[in-house]
Amino acid sequence: MKKTIFALFAVLILATSVQAVNTNTVSRVVAGNLSTVKQEARQTELTIAEQQKEIQQESATLKKSIAGKKKEFQTLKAQYEALLAEEKKLKDELAEQAHELKTIDGAIRTSAKQAGDYFNESLTTPDHPERLPVLEAILKPNIFPGMESIKQLLNLYLDEMYTGGEIVHKNSEFIAKDGQARNGETIRIGTFTTVFRTPDGELGFLRPDSGGGGLTAVAGKPGWMLSRTINDFFDGKSNLFPVDISNGAALQRLAQTQKSFTEWLAAGGILVWPILLVGLIAALIIIERFISLSRIRANSGKNMGRIIELVSGGKWSECREFCLQKSSFPTCRVINHTLKYAGTSKEILENAFQEGLLKELPLLERFLPTLNVLAAVAPLLGLLGTVTGMINTFQIITIYGTGDPRMMSGGISEALVTTQLGLAVAVPIMLLHHILDRRVDKIVGDMEEKGASIAVALMKKEPATEKGTVYGDAA
């Protein structure tokens, strides 16, 4: 053990000795290296100092450059914002000018459209066909009309004012009523009226066609009064001339008023025929009643003198024969019936007279109640036609709207024609019914008056009855 410790101690000593030797060596090496490192460190510090200086200079340069860039940026930003403001201002001005231009363009086009509508309806346009191309050029889309178009529009109106004061007599071509082109004399009075006269003497009025470039004859005839006036003007015999100041509305009315009766009835629809049937039946009844009542003589004063004379003389048989001979008088028929009860009491005579009167009344008043009913039915049928026509009109409005008035005219015509026809049938029936009713009242009044007279005459002969004398069939 001791040897081992000793050996270890010896090794330790040896190792320490070797380490001491190595430490010295290392120290020298380290010192050398340290010196080298220090030199390198100083060199590095110098290098770093130079680089820091360069960096600082570069940083100062960059900061200066950044400051300049920032300043330049602010300047450019301010210029950009100013340009934006200027752009916005210019855009606003441009939009305002565009709006004004659009307004001016719309006003010019609207005026041109109105001018086109006017010149299409003007009687002077066929004599100045150059107007229509000018208006078509102004109305072309995507082209601003400009001042030149305004001047052209103004010139068109000035030219229209000038031609509106002219009276033009010449030979012209126009479309006749049969749709064929014809030539004839024409006279235009300003912008109001143009008439034509063909070589065969036909007269009529002219209106511009749908395109405005030609003339078309108006349907209907001017009538003999107007024809005479127009012929005199054509021949230079008169200075009078019919002028339509309504721009064609009066001529259209002239054509409508000359619509045939069949066309007028057809416009009233199916309810026209029941109204006409009512009128026909009423007409037949009225004719029959007038004929029948005209054969009845109401003035029986002359006959009553003879009857009273025969009754006063007690000539009953002769009196009844006389009444039979005068049977066309209803009064005589009633008296004849009353004489059958001559010699009876007053009440019986009065009842006999009333019985005879009641027998005559149905014959006199025959069909008059029916006539009264027909007079009430005719306007009711017209009212039914009015309701039907208005229903049809509202159905058309529901489907097609109110954009085209011509589509509603059928229902309105049906409503108005049936009402007009119903009243036209009912009013004469009521008047004639009143006349017939008065005629019947007059006949009945005559019978009552004469019946009362004959009753008084018979009462005077009552004592003879009491003495046993037999009179008439009642005995």
Question: pLDDT (tens digit, 9 = 90+) per residue, 413-433?
Answer: 777 888 888 999 999 999 999
Contact predicate 414/390, CB 8 Å:
no
CA distance 241 to 243: 6
Give the confidence band of 354 by pLDDT, cuts at 50, 70, 90.
confident
> In the prediction, which pLDDT does 10 show?
64
8 Å CB contact between 119 and 212: yes
Distance CA 272, CA 261 (A): 12
CA–CA dist 402, 85 (Å, integer): 52
Q: Looking at residue 472, what is its pLDDT?
A: 44
Higher pLDDT, 366 or 346: 366
Of residues 63 and 463, which shows the higher confidence score?
63
Q: Is 468 exposed, middle or buried (0-12, 13-18, 19+ CB in 10 A)?
A: exposed
Token couple for 99: 């709006």
**pLDDT exceeds cutoff 50 at 274:** yes
Q: 222 — phi, psi (to 5°)?
A: -75, -15
Highest mean pLDDT among 100-114, 402-416, 422-436: 422-436
In which band, very low, low, confident or very high, does the pLDDT at 215 lie, cut at 50, 70 and 90?
A: confident
Model confidence pLDDT, tens digit, residues 126-147: 888 888 888 888 888 777 777 8
- Its pTM stands at 0.49
3-state per-residue secondary structure call for 391-453:
HHHHHHHHHHCCCCHHHHHHHHHHHHHHHHHHHHHHHHHHHHHHHHHHHHHHHHHHHHHHHHH
pLDDT of residue 470: 41
Task: Report the candidate in 147, 133, 164 with the shortest Cα–Cα distance to residue 243.
Answer: 164
Sign of CA dihedral 334, 335, 340, 346: positive
Rounded to the nearest integer, the mean pLDDT of the chain is 81
Q: So what's the pLDDT on residue 56?
A: 92
- Residue that the structure tokens 């039915």 belong to: 377
Asked if residue 51 has pLDDT above 50, the reply is yes
Q: Does residue 474 have a pLDDT over 60?
A: no
Give the residue-averaged pLDDT of 337-359.
Answer: 77
Confidence of residue 20 (pLDDT cuts 50, 70, 90): low
**Which has more pLDDT, 251 or 154?**
154
pLDDT for the residue numbered 253 = 65
Most confident of 312-316, 357-361, 454-458: 357-361
